């Protein structure tokens, strides 16, 4: 079976930026095409992940970014799934190439979150909650995830100090990532001494409000070979294939779910594993949706890396984890927690980290011998919608 290839990646650094979303996109596009022909020469389609039009009072991001990339008359669409929008854009690009409808498709994501300030971001994110059951109560994203965290700490032996170690690990990883919002390490005391946002989650348990844009160029195996100057078999060294994709949804309202088992992620990852013909223990590196520290623990369990109740050990060296854990390295980019979380682009930042790990270009973050990666991107609270991708070095 022929699998779509990733032939170029690019992003702006995540963080607070004075650039508009279209200019952030231009930065990402320039990097992605640095060694490729002009987009107008090869691109057949474009998808844009974008969470909310409220930040810049802008819709029609598909048309806007196609125009900005010089792709007039090219099919272009915005896709929305709250924070899963970026991975949905990648899913659509992979689908179009895999089906043979297109040879080269851009998966893009962009969010200019700081344009709305903290209040604007809080309000925009709350639109992902059930209007009838949740929004009218005034509940916020941190308080929703605090429900999950409180229940997880109640049902397991995990503590707030354990959650802090996840933040410490991810900031340590982000310190070596030039794309990251926070490029400095922190210690556990800094996390534990920070103010509560919604108990038991403190300021340093939470991902920041970030601006950013990311672009991934998805091509057929044949086009990837042409761009590389050889036949498909010649192009295999140093390239990355998307070998598995899975999606799933759960109830929108958190109250109607199991708070400590992320079923949507479990199902989405399972579908991606099945397509790729692998199991959880075959994954070397994983980028998961750690919008809050507890999410990394929950997702480690949901996707099969860890036995129930031990996901909090993701911050430990693999040799120190409980029996039943795999050897996977998680959130090597720094994760949403420290790399940053420009909502509509987050899923693509995850895939860029996977690409760099699998091509040996992750610098100080490089995991030796990394051949397979899993990316798990979620929208809404936890798994209202989840998209999982398996990427492999080929």
- The mean pLDDT of 86-91, rounded to a whole number, is 98
Query: Beta strands 5-11 and 211-219: pairing type?
Result: antiparallel
Residues 6+ apart with CB under 8 A from 328: 280, 283, 284, 285, 286, 305, 318, 374
- The mean pLDDT of 133-150, rounded to a whole number, is 93
DSSP code for 111:
E
For residue 14, give the nearest of 146, 284, 211, 162 by alpha carbon.
211
**Measured in Å, how far apart are the chain's first and last C-alpha atoms?**
13
Let me know if 66 is exposed, middle or buried by CB neighbors in 10 A (0-12, 13-18, 19+).
buried
Domain ranges (residues) in the chain: 5-117+210-236
Angle between helices 117-126 and 141-155 (to 10 degrees): 70
DSSP code for 305:
S
Mean pLDDT lowest for which of 31-40, 182-191, 252-261? 252-261
Contact (Cβ atoms closer than 8 angstroms) between residue 109 and residue 347: yes
Residue 44's SS3 state is coil
**For residue range 149-185, what is the model confidence (pLDDT) as tens digits?**
999 999 999 999 999 999 999 999 999 999 999 999 9
Q: Is the pLDDT of residue 146 over 90?
A: yes
Q: Is the pLDDT of residue 234 over 50?
A: no
Confidence of residue 237 (pLDDT cuts 50, 70, 90): very low
Give backbone dihedrals phi and psi of 330, rounded to 5 degrees, phi first.
-110, 140
Confidence of residue 232 (pLDDT cuts 50, 70, 90): low
- The mean pLDDT of 85-103, rounded to a whole number, is 98
Confidence of residue 24 (pLDDT cuts 50, 70, 90): very high
Computed over every residue of the chain, the mean pLDDT equals 95
Question: In terms of residues, how long is the chain?
Answer: 394
Residue 56's SS3 state is coil
Residues 6+ apart with CB under 8 A from 230: none
**For residue range 283-316, what is the model confidence (pLDDT) as tens digits?**
999 999 999 999 999 999 999 999 999 999 999 9
- C-alpha to C-alpha distance for 50 and 129, rounded to whole angstroms: 17
Mean pLDDT lowest for which of 48-62, 119-133, 192-206? 119-133
Mean pLDDT lowest for which of 193-207, 232-246, 318-332, 379-393? 232-246
Q: Give me the pLDDT at residue 230, please.
A: 59
Contact (Cβ atoms closer than 8 angstroms) between residue 167 and residue 190: no
What homologous superfamily is domain 5-117+210-236 in, according to CATH? Thiolase/Chalcone synthase (3.40.47.10)
Q: Is the pLDDT of residue 356 over 80?
A: yes
Largest CA distance in the chain: 59
Q: Give me the pLDDT at residue 255, please.
A: 83
Q: Where are the beta strands (DSSP E) in 172-239?
A: 196-198, 201-202, 211-219
Percent of the chain with pLDDT over 90: 92
Q: Tell me the pTM.
A: 0.97
Structure tokens belonging to residue 78:
């915005």
Residue 260's SS3 state is coil
- C-alpha to C-alpha distance for 364 and 149, rounded to whole angstroms: 31
**For residue range 204-221, what is the model confidence (pLDDT) as tens digits?**
999 999 999 999 999 999
Give backbone dihedrals phi and psi of 136, rounded to 5 degrees, phi first.
-70, -15
């Amino acid at each position: 079976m022929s699998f779509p290839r990733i032939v170029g990646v690019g992003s702006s650094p995540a963080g607070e930026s004075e650039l508009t979303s279209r200019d952030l996109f231009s930065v990402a596009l320039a990097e992605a095409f640095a060694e490729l022909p002009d987009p107008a020469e090869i691109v057949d389609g474009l998808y844009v992940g974008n969470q909310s039009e409220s930040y810049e009072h802008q819709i029609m991001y598909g048309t806007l970014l196609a125009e900005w990339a010089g792709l007039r008359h090219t099919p272009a669409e915005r896709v929305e799934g709250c924070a899963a929008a970026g991975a949905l854009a990648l899913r659509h690009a992979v689908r179009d190439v895999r089906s043979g409808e297109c040879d080269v498709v851009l998966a893009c994501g962009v969010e200019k979150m700081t344009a709305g300030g903290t209040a604007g971001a809080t309000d925009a994110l709350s639109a992902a909650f059930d209007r009838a059951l949740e929004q009218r109560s005034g509940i916020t994203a941190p308080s929703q995830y605090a429900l999950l965290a409180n229940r997880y700490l109640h049902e397991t032996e995990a503590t707030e100090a354990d959650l802090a170690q996840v933040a410490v690990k991810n900031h340590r990883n982000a310190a070596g990532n030039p794309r990251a919002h926070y490029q400095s390490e922190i210690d556990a005391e800094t996390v534990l001494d920070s103010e509560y946002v919604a108990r038991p989650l403190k300021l340093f348990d939470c991902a920041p409000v970030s601006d950013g844009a990311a672009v991934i160029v998805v091509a057929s195996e044949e086009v990837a070979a042409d761009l590389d100057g050889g036949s498909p078999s010649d192009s295999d060294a140093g390239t990355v294939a998307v070998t598995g994709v899975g999606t799933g949804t759960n109830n929108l309202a958190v109250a109607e779910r199991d708070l400590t088992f992320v079923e949507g992620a479990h199902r989405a990852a399972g579908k991606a594993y099945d397509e790729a013909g692998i199991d959880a223990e075959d994954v070397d590196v994983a980028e998961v949706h750690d919008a809050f520290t507890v999410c990394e623990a929950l997702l480690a369990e949901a996707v099969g890396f860890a036995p129930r109740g031990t996901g909090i050990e993701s911050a430990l060296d693999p040799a120190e984890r409980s029996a039943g854990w795999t050897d996977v390295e998680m959130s090597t980019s720094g994760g949403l927690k420290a790399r940053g979380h420009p909502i509509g682009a987050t899923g693509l930042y995850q895939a860029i980290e996977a690409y760099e790990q699998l091509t040996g270009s992750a610098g100080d973050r490089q995991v030796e011998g990394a051949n397979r990666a899993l990316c798990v991107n979620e929208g809404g609270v936890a798994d209202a919608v989840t998209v999982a991708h398996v990427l492999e070095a080929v």
